[in-house]
Amino acid sequence: MKFFQIIILCLFISATATSQEDENVTVSKVSFGINLNSYFGGETLYFNENGGIPRISLGPSSEFKITIQNSISDRLFYKISLPLYNTSQTIDQQKISFRTGLDFGFTYIPKLEARIKPFLAVAFTTLNYEHINGFRPNSYGPKITRINVPITIGLSFSFSNSRLMAGLNYNTYKHFYYYGSNFASFGTDVGRFSISLSSVYDFNYNNSKTTKPINDVLSGLYFSSSAIITNWVRLSDFNQTDNTRKFISKPNFSFSPEFNIGLGVDMWDIGINYRKEKTSTSSFDVLQELSRTSIGIELRRSFNFKSQFYPFVAVNPAYSRLTFHENYYNIGNMVSSNKLSFRGKVGIEYFPLKYKNISISSAISYTMPLKLEITENKNINFTSIEFNIIELKYRLN
């Protein structure tokens, strides 16, 4: 069943600048805040997508997030929210963790000479379900991550040095759950509404502009961190005749950070990156996890069309350690293997931000297929598409 969600955004401090700007000073809008997300209502989960006997109903839960916001222009803002704490629910002796992950989104407010202005906000986030204990002793449910795209439409009320923003939020996602030894995981489309409120305080923050030539802008030693969502687009079945044990082949998502250090020369970047990620799935009494730890070299070529936007292409050979863990009727099995992987990437970078020497970029990448041999007659073949939703890079130039 669909149910409503109220989001209360509190302690939301923002910087909205005046029109002060000259050749050496530019104006920034920066904000910091704490969000309280409160879910209420109820959602009944069934044995199958068409109804059936109801098994469990979710109750209220809460979630706290810290938010950082900055302005791209006087109309467009980007926002990052990081969860700090979330509550779990215990229903029918089952402990369920239900939470969202890192949010990254944009807010657009049109330039109107009015105190009340409409706004549109779109965000990208992850939605995580974790069934901590199953229907039988020592059994496990899935740890599943799905991409969620909430959209908010509302009104912004402007006062002296402050704003009040109120909107209606809607998002839809796929809900998965684990039903124990005689039932598999099923997916149900779920829609959610929420009412969002935010209180914003405005102040000025001035920064120096960059005056370097285009070819020198992307040069120098750099450090970067990224937030990446990986779509494991193919998790193949085991090569065996026992059809009761398969690694589920439908797409699965994982969320992971990536860190990079390197050197930029002219419009070329070469650096070393590190990332650790994990995905899991569950079917009947089988819990299977696949993790990948990678360290590699990224070679990037940027292009410029006389603007602050730099499209780029990159190749990333990496040394990866793959680990497969299976819990089959409480009997554990773990296999590891070292592989050489290749990743291709295309994206766009915006440089500089209002803060000197900091750039922001997004990209999409594809990793060539890899094979993990479980035994002589069983293996997993997979490939992945990755969405680098945000990368923040600081250059020492």
pLDDT tens per residue across span 149-183: 778 888 888 776 667 777 777 766 555 544 444 33
pLDDT reported for residue 260: 92
Which residue from 58, 139, 53 is spatially nearest to 96, judged by alpha carbons? 58
Residue 31, pLDDT above cutoff 90: no
| Lowest mean pLDDT across 142-151, 241-250, 299-308 | 241-250
Domain ranges (residues) in the chain: 3-207, 212-396
CATH number of 3-207: 2.40.160
Confidence at 201, pLDDT banded by 50, 70, 90: low
Q: Which helix (H) or strand (E) holds 33?
A: strand 30-39
State the chain's mean pLDDT as an integer: 67
Confidence at 316, pLDDT banded by 50, 70, 90: very high
Residue 318, pLDDT above cutoff 70: yes
Residue 299, pLDDT above cutoff 90: yes
Q: Are 356 and 210 in contact (CB under 8 A)?
A: yes
Three-state secondary structure string covering the chain: CCEEEEEEEEEEEECCCCCCCCCCEEEECEEEEEEEEEECCCEEEEEECCEEEEEEEECCEEEEEEEEEEECCCCEEEEEEEEEEECEEEECCEEEEEEECCEEEEEECCCCCCCEEEEEEEEEEEEEEEECCCCCCCCCCCEEEEEECCEEEEEEEEECCEEEEEEEEEEEEEEEECCCCCCCCEEEEEEEEEEEEEEEECCCEEEECCCCCHHHHCCEEEEEEEEEEEEECCCCCCCCCCCCCCCCCCCEEEEEEEEEEEEEECCEEEEEEEEEEEEEEEECCEEEEEEEEEEEEEEEEECCCCCCEEEEEEEEEEEEEEEEEEEECCEEEEEEEEEEEEEEEEEEEECCCCCCCEEEEEEEEEEEEEEEEEECCEEEEEEEEEEEEEEEEEEEC
Residue 14, pLDDT above cutoff 80: no
Structure tokens at 249: 């082949």
Structure tokens at 164: 């009040």
Q: 166: which residues sit within 8 A by CB, 6+ positions away?
A: 154, 155, 157, 195, 196, 197, 198
Confidence at 244, pLDDT banded by 50, 70, 90: very low
Higher pLDDT, 267 or 33: 267
Q: pLDDT exceeding 90 applies to what percent of the chain?
A: 7
Say if domain 212-396 classifies as CATH 2.60.40.420. Answer: no
CA dist., res. 372 & res. 378, Å (int): 9
Give the CA distances from residue 113 to residues 6, 146, 199, 239, in Å, rounded to whole numbers and listed in that order: 30, 40, 20, 66
Q: Are 69 and 31 in contact (CB under 8 A)?
A: yes
CA dist., res. 145 & res. 228, Å (int): 13
pLDDT reported for residue 79: 72
| Lowest mean pLDDT across 6-15, 21-30, 169-178, 293-302 | 6-15
Q: What is the mean pLDDT of residues 137-142?
A: 44
pLDDT reported for residue 305: 73
pLDDT reported for residue 145: 60
| Lowest mean pLDDT across 20-34, 120-134, 274-288 | 20-34
pLDDT reported for residue 377: 58
pLDDT reported for residue 298: 94
